[in-house]
Amino acid sequence: MNLLSIQIDGNKTAFRPGETVRGAIRWQYDDRPGQIDLRLIWFTEGPGPDDVGIIDSLATDDPSPADARSFQFRLPAGPYSYNGLSFRVRWALELLAPGRKDCTRLDLVVSPTTQPVEVPFR
Amino acid sequence: MNGIMKRSGVQISFSSSKGSAQLSPVNRGLGSLFFLAFFLMGSLFEVFTIREFVVILRTYSWQQTPCRILSSEVVSNEGDYRFAVRYEYAVGSDTFVGEKFKRNFHDGDYDKQSGRVQQYPVGSPAVCFVNPANPSEAVLQRDSLLFGLVILFPLLFIGIGGIGIYAMWARIKPKPVETRPISDSSKGRRALIVFLSIFALVGLGMMWPLCVRPIYKVIDARNWIETPCRVLHAEVRSHDSDDGTTYSVDILYEYTADGKVWRSNRYDFLGSSSSGRSGKQAVVDQYRAMPRPVCFVNPANPAEAVLVRKPTAKLLICLFPWVFFLIGAGGIVGVLRSARRSKAAAWLPPVSDSGHAGVAGNMYWLNPSPENDFADDWVALPAAGRRIGKFFGWLFFAVFWNGITSVFVTIAVQSCRHGHPEWFMTVFLVPFVLIGLALILAACHQLLSLFNPYLIARIRPGRIPLGSSADLNWTFKGLPGRIGELKVVLTATEPIRSTSDDGDRKRQMSPSSKPVFECELACLTDPQQIASGQIRLSIPASAMHSFDSGNCRLTWAVSFRGDIRIWPNLKDDLPIVVVPPNLQELR
């Protein structure tokens, strides 16, 4: 059985800019997966191609078939999570095993109110 | 928990993994059929092209064999001219007679065939290429390996068809989200570059025959010698094809150069056929009746001559390869530029930093300088450069559109003047002509707006944190008294295709730039207050900051909207940069 998972401390998924995201990643394979990458990203969803910003990443080279790692990322000032008229800005933690083409993602919200900024502005 | 943990820096990329909007089964079926036709046509053409290229490649392994030319002449073949050659060669003890000049050899202009007669005179020795598997098969010349470039052309159709079909069905069976990393998009970018490269290569491939060669000939022919000639035969030649019948001018003429008599049937340098018989008939009648016609002879090669050496409207076809090339090359540049946005905080548009002297500078985003970004000092907001850019943009578009349309309008007008109106073409052209007129009006409107009062504005600070205020001052140069009323409006827009979102991620696109925020800061009628003034603007704390990730943008701007009597109204949008309040500390 193959398994990739991300767990954030306190199961929190909404953060303010500047806060720290802490948690642990786990993977379980029958043999060595080659490499495990954890990335903190924001990305857009709109009519054109999506833009992606990789804010930070942690790479584990040649890990054992099943293991766990703790992680922590400090969130930058922006961009905020945003639900606009024509596009959205979203945040996520993405855990990849590139050699296995496996990936899992955990959506986050980053904004001063811990809710995505909505339109119209008031 | 142990192991090597490597931390990497910040980067930005784009992913093309977006699926299509949700489609009804009927639309999906129709769309699939449309793209399937593209795909199948492209595939079929590709198979034929590859097969032909393989055959051409094989001739390069054929045996070089000495031969002797038995006969060599130009013969008329239903209005075309053909190089008819016979040559004798020996393989072992057997002697063969070959009649094939090239595998893919077409009838054509007289002087081209005549040149081949000069190259292979009767009785002269030559070299032919003999198929070792079948010695009775031989050619005098092998086809160019450049034919291989033709293989690229059907790939466009295959690509459009394949991507279209994929887009139609991509959402039906989506791969689990977890198996498609958003942050790994290099494959999509590479595929896009390959696809765009094909466009650029096809454009380049067409550049020589359709653009470079005809233009070179037209320029070169200015030095050709005007020579009296005699018309031997003149008619309008018909060419039947699946798209209908087209016509070309066929005038065979004789002239003397370097003490020898030559013949040619070249009318102009493009030599293509087109619809509309009457125009060609008029040319033919003119040459039949002409007492002393002249042609222009290449002094370096007297076998080469032309009746009309001036550039004609047909030369506009040289724009055609540029369309392909610019789409391909421009797309590649766009993809590479998008990939290069690997900077920290690349989502934030930089401040337009043109110094603090109050002079409007470059309109486009510049690289931010950290000192100025956060300095509590005045920053100039550019305005006028955009007006000039808009004018030239409209002008270029109007000239380009009307230039192409005018070719067909000329044909339609000439057909009316000669009493054989092309009604279908005339009706078909009406919307194109109307669009052309609208473009000219737009360019004129933009030209007049260049003479509107010129706005010089400054803001402090250059980057405005959400929930805080900024000072804005402005001065108008160039008769601000013409402005009857001036409104200053704070706006935030998403300047890309707007969508409606029903919560189920269903999106409809329209080409508008919808404001997500609009607030009138001032409405002035006093000429002195309009001419120069200062106001304070506040940004709501709960709003979104400025955002520019390449494909998605949220732009804040101060819009100056002035009413001017009997003149285009003034509308200058000055972009400002709104940032998260704690940007500097959290960088």
Among B52-61, B68-77, B105-114, B364-373, which stretch is predicted with the lowest mean pLDDT? Answer: B364-373
Q: Which helix (H) or strand (E) holds B284?
A: helix B277-289
Q: Are strands B454-460 and B515-524 parallel, antiparallel or unpaired?
A: unpaired
Preceding amide of A79 cis, omega within 30: yes
CA distance B18 to A39: 20
Query: What integer is the mean pLDDT of B162-191?
Result: 66
Single out the residue of B462, B455, B430 nearest to residue B546, CA to CA: B462
Among A103-107, A114-118, B2-6, B140-144, which stretch is predicted with the lowest mean pLDDT? Answer: B2-6
DSSP 8-state symbol, B452:
S
- Cβ distance B489 to B548 under 8 Å? no
Chain A residues closer than 8 Å to B177 by CB: 105
Question: Following DSSP, what letter does each residue of A51-115 receive, concatenated?
Answer: EEEEEEEEEEES--SEEEEEEEEE--S-PPPEE-SS-EEEEEEEEEEGGGTEEEEEEEEESTTSS
Residues B536, B542, B547, B553, CA torsion sign:
negative
Q: B267-279, pLDDT tens digit by residue? A: 887 776 777 778 8
Structure tokens at B154: 């059907």
Q: Do A76 and B501 touch (CB under 8 A)?
A: no
Query: CB-based contacts of B217: which residues, under 8 Å, 6+ apart?
Result: B269
Nearest CA in chain A to B345: A78
Q: B156-170, pLDDT tens digit by residue? A: 888 888 888 887 776
CA distance B413 to B416: 5
Res B520: pLDDT: 92
Mean pLDDT of chain B: 79
Could you report the predicted ipTM of this complex, rounded to two decimals? 0.93
B395, pLDDT greater than 90: yes
Res B243: pLDDT: 57
Secondary-structure breakdown of chain B: helix, strand, coil percentages, each rounded to the nearest 5: 40, 30, 30
B560 three-state secondary structure: strand
The answer to whether B507 faces chain A, any CB pair under 8 Å, is: yes
B478, pLDDT greater than 70: yes
Q: Do A121 and B582 touch (CB under 8 A)?
A: no
CA of residue A2 relative to chain centroid, distance: 20
- Cβ distance B1 to A68 under 8 Å? yes
Q: A39-59, pLDDT tens digit by residue? A: 999 998 876 667 888 899 998
Q: B290-310, pLDDT tens digit by residue? A: 888 999 999 988 888 999 887
- Cβ distance B437 to B348 under 8 Å? no
The answer to whether B15 faces chain A, any CB pair under 8 Å, is: yes
Q: Residues in chain A, how many? A: 122
Q: B490-547, pLDDT tens digit by residue? A: 999 987 543 444 333 334 333 346 688 999 999 999 999 999 999 999 999 999 999 9
Distances in whole angstroms, Cα of residue B180 to Cα of each of A90, A122, B265, B323, B391: 16, 37, 63, 35, 45
Comparing CB atoms, the residue among B18, B498, B581 nearest residue A49 is B18
Q: Are strands B305-306 and A50-61 parallel, antiparallel or unpaired?
A: unpaired
Query: CB-based contacts of A59: which residues, under 8 Å, 6+ apart?
Result: A35, A36, A37, A38, B5, B6, B8
Q: B330-339, pLDDT tens digit by residue? A: 888 877 776 6
Q: Between chain A and chain B, how many beta carbons pairs sit less than 8 Å apart?
A: 202
Instruction: Name the minimum distance, in Å, from the CA of B587 to any CA of chain A.
Output: 6
Res B505: pLDDT: 38
The answer to whether B176 faces chain A, any CB pair under 8 Å, is: no
Chain A residues closer than 8 Å to B4 by CB: 60-61
DSSP 8-state symbol, B355:
-
B26 three-state secondary structure: helix
Among A6-20, B267-281, B372-386, B508-522, which stretch is predicted with the lowest mean pLDDT? Answer: B372-386
B111, pLDDT greater than 80: no
Chain A residues closer than 8 Å to B345 by CB: 76-78
Chain position carrying tokens 């200058």: B572
**Portion of chain B with pLDDT greater than 70, in percent:** 81
Angle at B91 (CA atoms; ends B86, B93), nearest 5 degrees: 115
Angle at B384 (CA atoms; ends B354, B515), nearest 5 degrees: 95
Buried b / exposed e along B135-170 (16+ C-beta atoms within 10 A): bebbbbbebeeebeebebbbbbbbbebbbbbebbee
Helix axis angle for B384-417 and B423-449, nearest 10°, is: 160
Res A60: pLDDT: 87
Per the rule left: phi > 0, alpha: psi between -120 and 50, beta: everything else, B298 is beta
Question: Following DSSP, what letter does each residue of B151-186 receive, concatenated?
Answer: GHHHHHHHHHHHHHHHHHHTTTSPPPGGGS-TT--H
Distances in whole angstroms, Cα of residue B227 to Cα of each of B114, B291, B303, B314: 19, 14, 13, 24
B229, pLDDT greater than 90: yes
